[in-house]
Each structure stands twice: as C-alpha cells, then as structure tokens.
C-alpha cells in the first residue's frame, strides 16, 4: 500500500499580479511550495507529484530532479488540476492520495498524519481538513448535515446563509486513491467560475454512498492560504512571529523586533542579542553571546560565539569566535574570518582567509587572499586581485604591517613580518621581515601657494 501526494501549483493567482506562479512566492525565505513539500517529507511522504501550469518553468527549475510534475496546460480548476496527475496517481492505486494546495504553506506533518489516521480508521473515501475561522472570507464553506459533512460550497457560489458558515475548507484532503479516480470522473464545470472544483468530490462521494468526513483542526494557522498580497504579508507575519517565539524560548534576546526577519533554518545560541533591522537567511548558524545588528543581512554563514556584527552584510562565509565587524562591512562568499579578527568601516572581504586577530580597520578591500595572524592593514589597502583577465591571489604572512594606501598587485606574497610603507604599490614578493617602500623623492616648492592665495589671505593688500 502506497500513500502519495499531489500538490496543486498550476493556478495563475491573478489576485497576486505576480510574474511567477503563486506557490513560488516566498514566506520568509522559502517559496510557499517549499513549505508544503517540507511538511510532506516530515510526515514521511516522499512520493510527491506537483501539478504545474502558469509559468511552469519556474517550478521545474525550483524542484530540479527532486519530484515528479504534471503539467496543466489550461487552468480549469482544482479538480481539473488533480486530473492532470492521473498517470502518477494510477501508478499506485492501492493506498491513499493526499491533495494539498501549493499556496497554503503552514500545513504541517502533524495535521497530515492525524487526518490520515482518522481517514483510515473510518475507512473514508475522502477526508477533508477543515477549521473554524472568525473571518472565513475567501474560503470554501463546509456544509454539514445531521450525519456529518454534506458538501463544500465556494464563496462565489454560496448563498448568504452559507457564507455565514465559519467552518472552512483548508484545501487539503485525503482520498482513498481508487475513490479519487472514480470521483474525478464525475466532476463538472457547472458553477460560478465554470471550473472543475475538487471540492465537489465531497458532495459527489456522499451522493454515491461513499464515506466522507471532515478532520477539523484546532490549529487554524495550518489552513491559512494566500490569495492576495495582503494574505501573503499576513502569512509572513505569522511565520516571522512564530520563529521569533522559538528563538526566545531558546534564550535568544530581542530588545525590539522591528525589521527582524529570521528564516526557518537559522540556528541561534542562547544569550545572543539580535538588534533591529537584521535579516538572517538560509542555513545560517550563530553561536551564543553574540550581538548581531542593528541592520545586518546574513545568509548561509556559520558564526561562532561572542561575535559582534554591526551593519554587516555577510554571505556564505565562516566567522569564528570573538570577531568584531562593522559598521558598513561586506563579507562576500567563501570568506573565513578566524578568531578575534577586527574589521572596521567600509571594508570588503571576498573569497579570503583572514587569520587570528588580524585587524582591517578602515576602507580596505581584501579579495582572493590568504592572510595570516595578527596582520595590521592600514587604511585604504587594496588587494589588486583582477588584471582584467584573471583573478590572482595575495598571500600575506603572520604579523605583517601594511601601510596606508598600499596596493598589492596579485599574485604577490608578503613574507611573515614584512612591512610596506604607506602609499607603496607592491609588484613583487616581499621577503620575511623586509620593508617594501616604493616612493618618489618628495620635492618641496617654497612659497608656491602664496601667489594663488593672496586675494584670500590678504584681501586688503595692494599689489606689491
Ligand atoms: C480553494 C478551494 C477552497 C478552499 C481554498 C483553501 C476549490 C474549488 N476551492 O480555493 O474551497 O477553501 O482552496 O485555500 O478547490 N490550482 C491549479 N490549477 C487550477 C486552479 C488552481 O493548480 O486550475 C492550484 C493553485 O495554484 C493553488 C491551489 O490550486 O495552489 C488552490 O487554487 P486557488 O485558486 O487558490 O483556490 P481557492 O480559490 O483558494
Ligand atoms: Ca487559494
């Protein structure tokens, strides 16, 4: 017996006015479709088919080879969408098929498994997940009879009395696979939108004497869908607050959560403070006793303990313990800042290793470089890593002292303890403990500016 999933993601989502399929719109940093898939996987369901349609290529690209897709050439409704997956569904007729909407991202593994339990225990042909909402607007309403569920009616097709019903359809259903195939054959387009409604399978099942029931969840978040940008913002707010709550439970400190957005997969240690305007994305991991923010954007970084980042943007990098960086620092991919590194304002580091306790205090670019320990970069140092054709590396040994406005023309190596004089352009390797100085003699022209400045300095003077 095989349990499988069909996720509907073919709709145009015209209320969103989006250039991409609605299920690809993000809640925090993950497309809604990704949230739905994750819930299935967590519930142990890995046989998944996604129905695509509008701008299918975006979904194909996102899924890669991971999952099957079925293409719905014309968007004729949710029932029609499931019909497009018929080949997939038929491959395992023995078992149950879960149908989910790609635009309802908070469906969770618990609801999936609990509703399956009810579905199989009652030997239902179909079980629909429902919830009672104080504001049911936009959802299909669940009509009940004395014996249980009777039908689902879409808002557009509902009478005023039906619209007053607060129990709504989540758009998630378990079907006995054989029954689903039979019911799909019975759908028609006779409704307000001229579509094949999947919701009609409920009434149809009852008409045909099959067993149907509702699994009513108390956790109303799981059914929240996004049809409008306003809905999407609401989902983002719900997700954001839920994640902030989890971090607070873990001992993370927030003094004000304005503009703080933390992705689902981010891990943060206890006693770390996250300050306003900070966005943490992807697989970012932050240690304990750090201060991150204000105004940091961190993506896919591993950050140690007691790190202080202020107005830092960092991507795909490793930042070890006790690093202090900011304000206005850009850490580009593949950088590794080792213990105790200090980075000051207007510094960019890219694809480089920076050794323990090295200081890069101001206005400096370190790209494609291997920097040792306790190096001091003077203000305005540039690793000249690109000659217009190829990128080359700089190697800078331990304890080097780099004078202000030094250009290091890569590939070049400074041996350990080497010094460079301010303003030097280094074009060849510097041996250990040597000083590189490249300067023209300073010429002095006495009294040079006096003539030019006369009118400013001595406005009342006549010509001599
Ligand atoms: C649907 C339900 C409604 C339920 C709500 C829950 C129907 C008729 N109505 O309404 O009862 O309360 O979900 O969120 O099922 N899709 C396709 N192809 C299509 C049409 C839609 O793949 O031809 C996909 C959409 O991309 C979306 C999902 O199906 O992911 C739901 O479609 P949508 O148009 O948003 O349905 P609702 O009006 O929200
Ligand atoms: Ca919807």
> What does the pLDDT read at residue 214?
97
User: What is the DSSP track for 308-348?
Assistant: EESSEEEES-EE-TT-EE-SSEEE-SS-EE-TT-EE-TTEE
Measured from the alpha carbon of residue 170, the closest ligand is 1
The SS3 of residue 187 is coil
Minimum-distance ligand to the CA of 139? 1
Average pLDDT for 367-371: 98
What gap in Å lies between CA 32 and CA 109, rounded to an integer?
15
Average pLDDT over residues 259-284: 97
Instruction: For residues 401-414, give the mean pLDDT.
Output: 98
- Average pLDDT value for residue range 201-209: 96
H/E run at residue 167: strand 167-176
For ligand 1, atom 35, name the residue with the nearest CA. 227
Q: Which residues are bridge partners to 314 per DSSP?
A: 298, 331
Measured CA to CA, the distance from residue 204 to residue 198 in angstroms comes to: 10
Active site members: 362
Q: How many Cβ atoms sit within 10 Å of the Cβ of residue 192?
A: 11
Half-sphere exposure of 402 (CA within 13 A, CB side): 36
Q: Which of 52, 101, 172 to mutate to test the pocket of ligand 1 (most atoms within 8 A of CB)?
A: 101
| Distance of alpha carbon 28 from alpha carbon 51, whole angstroms | 23
CA 105 / ligand 1 centre spacing (Å): 13
Cβ within 8 Å of residue 283, ≥6 positions away = 265, 266, 300
50-75 pLDDT tens trace: 999 999 999 999 999 989 999 999 99
CB 385 within 8 A of CB 412: no
Q: Between the CA of residue 386 and those of 287, 289, 392, 406, 413, what are the distances in Å?
A: 35, 38, 6, 16, 15
Nearest CA to ligand 1 atom 29: 8
Work out the average pLDDT over 168-194: 96
Predicted pLDDT of residue 462: 55
Decide if 326 contacts 341 (C-beta within 8 A): no
**Percent of the chain topping pLDDT 90:** 93
| Residues paired with 212 in a beta bridge | 126
Is ligand 1 within 6 A of the CB of residue 22?
Answer: yes
Nearest residue by C-alpha to atom 22 in ligand 1: 10
Contact 136 CB / ligand 1 (< 6 Å): no
Residue for token digits 């949230």?
35
Ion ligand 2: residue ranges with CB closer than 5 A: 103, 225, 227
pLDDT tens-digit readout, 220-243: 999 999 999 999 999 999 999 999
pLDDT one-digit tens code per residue, 285-300? 999 999 999 999 999 9
Quote the pLDDT of residue 459: 75
Under a CB-based contact definition with an 8 Å cutoff, are residues 223 and 217 in contact? yes
Q: How long a stretch of residues is the chain?
A: 464
C-alpha span between 425 and 211 (Å, rounded): 82
pTM of structure: 0.87
Which atom in ligand 1 lies closest to the alpha carbon of residue 193? 8
Q: What are phi and psi of 409, to 5 degrees?
A: -85, 105
290: CA distance to ligand 2 center in Å?
Answer: 41
pLDDT of residue 446 exceeding 80: yes
Supply the pLDDT for residue 42.
98
Query: Which-ligand-closest: CA of 232?
Result: 2
Ranking 121-130, 298-307, 448-457 by mean pLDDT, the lowest is 448-457
Q: For the beta carbon of residue 340, count every other beta carbon within 10 angstroms.
A: 18
Q: Indicate whether 463 pLDDT > 60.
A: no
Would you state the structure tokens that stand for residue 168, as one six-digit string? 């709504």
Q: Is 285 helix (H, G, I), strand (E, B) or coil?
A: strand
Count of alpha carbons within 13 angstroms of residue 296, beta-carbon side: 29
Structure tokens belonging to residue 23: 């299920």
**Does the pLDDT at position 305 exceed 80?**
yes
Band of pLDDT at residue 453, cut at 50, 70 and 90: confident
- Between helices 56-63 and 32-42, what is the axis angle to 10°? 40
* Proportion of the chain above pLDDT 70, given as a percent: 99
Distance 205 CA to ligand 1 centre (A): 20
């Amino acid at each position: 017996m095989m349990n499988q999933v069909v996720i509907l993601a073919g709709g145009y989502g015209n209320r969103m006015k989006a250039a991409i399929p609605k299920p690809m719109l993000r809640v925090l940093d993950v497309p809604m479709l990704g949230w739905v898939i994750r819930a299935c996987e967590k519930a142990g369901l890995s046989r998944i088919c996604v129905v695509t349609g509008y701008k299918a290529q975006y979904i194909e690209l996102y899924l890669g080879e991971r999952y099957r897709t079925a293409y719905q050439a014309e968007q004729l409704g949710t029932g029609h969408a499931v019909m497009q997956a018929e080949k997939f569904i038929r491959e395992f007729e023995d078992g149950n098929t879960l149908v989910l909407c790609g635009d309802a991202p908070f469906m969770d593994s618990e609801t999936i498994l609990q509703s399956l339990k009810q579905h199989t225990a009652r030997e239902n042909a179909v079980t629909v997940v429902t919830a009672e909402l104080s504001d049911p607007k936009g959802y299909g309403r669940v009509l009940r009879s004395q014996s249980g569920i009777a039908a689902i009616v879409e808002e557009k097709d509902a009478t005023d009395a039906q619209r007053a019903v607060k129990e709504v359809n989540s758009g998630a259903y378990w079907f006995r696979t054989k029954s689903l195939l039979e019911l799909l054959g019975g759908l028609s387009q006779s409704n307000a939108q001229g579509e094949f409604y999947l919701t009609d399978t409920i009434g149809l099942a009852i008409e045909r004497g099959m067993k149907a029931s509702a699994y009513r969840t108390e956790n109303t978040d799981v059914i929240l869908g996004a049809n409008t940008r306003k809905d999407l913002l609401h989902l983002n707010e719900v997700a954001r607050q839920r994640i902030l709550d989890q971090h607070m439970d873990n001992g993370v400190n927030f003094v004000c959560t304005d503009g703080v957005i933390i992705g689902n997969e981010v891990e943060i240690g206890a006693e770390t403070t996250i300050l306003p305007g900070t966005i943490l994305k992807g697989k970012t991991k932050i240690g304990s006793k750090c201060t991150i923010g204000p105004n940091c954007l961190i993506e896919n970084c591993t950050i140690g303990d007691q790190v202080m980042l202020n107005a830092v943007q960092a991507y795909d990098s490793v930042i070890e313990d006790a690093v202090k960086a900011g304000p206005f620092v850009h850490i580009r991919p593949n950088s590794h800042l080792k213990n105790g590194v200090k980075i000051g304002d207007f510094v960019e580091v890219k694809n480089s290793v920076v050794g323990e306790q090295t200081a890069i205090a101001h206005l400096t670019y370190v790209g494609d470089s291997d920097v040792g320990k306790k190096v001091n970069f003077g203000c305005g140092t540039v690793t000249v890593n690109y000659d217009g054709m190829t990128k080359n590396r700089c190697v800078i040994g331990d304890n080097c002292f780099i004078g202000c406005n030094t250009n290091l023309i890569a590939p070049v190596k400074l041996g350990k303890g080497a010094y460079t004089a301010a303003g030097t352009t280094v074009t060849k390797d510097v041996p250990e403990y040597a000083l590189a100085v490249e300067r023209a003699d300073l010429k002095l022209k006495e009294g040079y500016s006096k003539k030019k400045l006369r009118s400013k300095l001595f406005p009342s003077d006549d010509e001599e």
